Every structure is written in structure tokens, then in C-alpha cells.
Amino acid sequence: MKNTNKIFQSIVSSKPKITIDGVQANGDVAFHVIMKDCSLEKADFVNPITKTRFFTNFVGELLVRENIQKFSVILTGLDHSLYQKLICTSRHTDFGMIIDHKWSIITFQMHLSLVQDILTEDFGRQSEIDAGGSVLDEFDQSKTEKKNSRNRGG
């Protein structure tokens, strides 16, 4: 059994690829990863961390972020009315996780709205990089300048 730190290191460093199993009518998406592709084995799941909501959400989101292009195809393939129905009316909260009875496959379930949130976050981050900073950086700078001006008696 690996300790908690080694479990997370194994998963992060392995950069596992996922397989999407399907999208349900409510916008939930199921996908799976081969346990050995995450450098995990049955004995690692004796560690109590693997039974926590934190573990499930961390690993699930890591897998989505590492494989965002596969999920993006689903999101961009929705027609406008279905997009409105699935993405604009629901929010992802937590991942579900099931390990098959052979201890070889880990299946996750999430809401497709998480993909929209990640893409929006990535777009915003890239926009800041392209602009050479953040609008908030300019705001913070102007606050500092005003404060310094007041302190100088201006």
C-alpha cells in the first residue's frame, strides 16, 4: 500500500488517458480509466484517503483537465437548445467513483457543466497571459497609487 503522498504522485505523474462511456439525458457523463494506467493497485485503496470525497473530486477533475479535448467535443457538439437545457440549468458539484469488481477499472461520473467551467477558466487565464496581465492587476495598481497619493498628501 502506498502512503497518501505516493498515491497522488502516482496518479499525477502517470497522466492517464480516459475513455468516455456515455452522456446521459440529464448531462451526466461517465468515463473510466484503467487502474494500472494511474499506477494504482487494489492494495492502494486500503488507504483511507481513497474513500474520501476529496480524493474522488481531485482525481476526477485531474482526469477531466488532462483529457479536456475529449470532453470539449461533447460540449461543442450540442445544439443550442440542448446546451441551454443541460449546461445552463445545472451545475456540477461532486464526482461519483466506482471501482469494478476485478479492481482494474475506475469509473467516474460528473456533470458536463464542469467542462464549460474549465474551458471558461482556461480561456480567461489565456486571455490574461495574452494581455500581459490581469484586469485585476491594473485595478490593484490603481488602488496602490491612490493610497500612496493620499499618504503623500495628494
**Cross-strand bridge partners of residue 46:** none
How far is the C-alpha of 36 from the C-alpha of 19, rounded, in Å?
A: 14
**Phi-psi region for residue 48, left (φ > 0), alpha (ψ -120 to 50) or beta?**
alpha
- C-alpha distances (whole Å) from 110 to each of 10, 59, 102 are 22, 12, 23
Domain edges within the chain: 4-151
pTM for the full predicted model: 0.78
Grid cell digits, residue 10 = 502516482
pLDDT, tens digit only, all 154 positions of the chain: 789 999 999 999 999 999 999 999 999 999 999 999 999 999 999 999 999 999 999 999 999 999 999 999 999 999 999 988 888 888 889 999 999 999 999 999 999 999 999 998 877 666 666 777 655 566 565 555 655 666 666 5
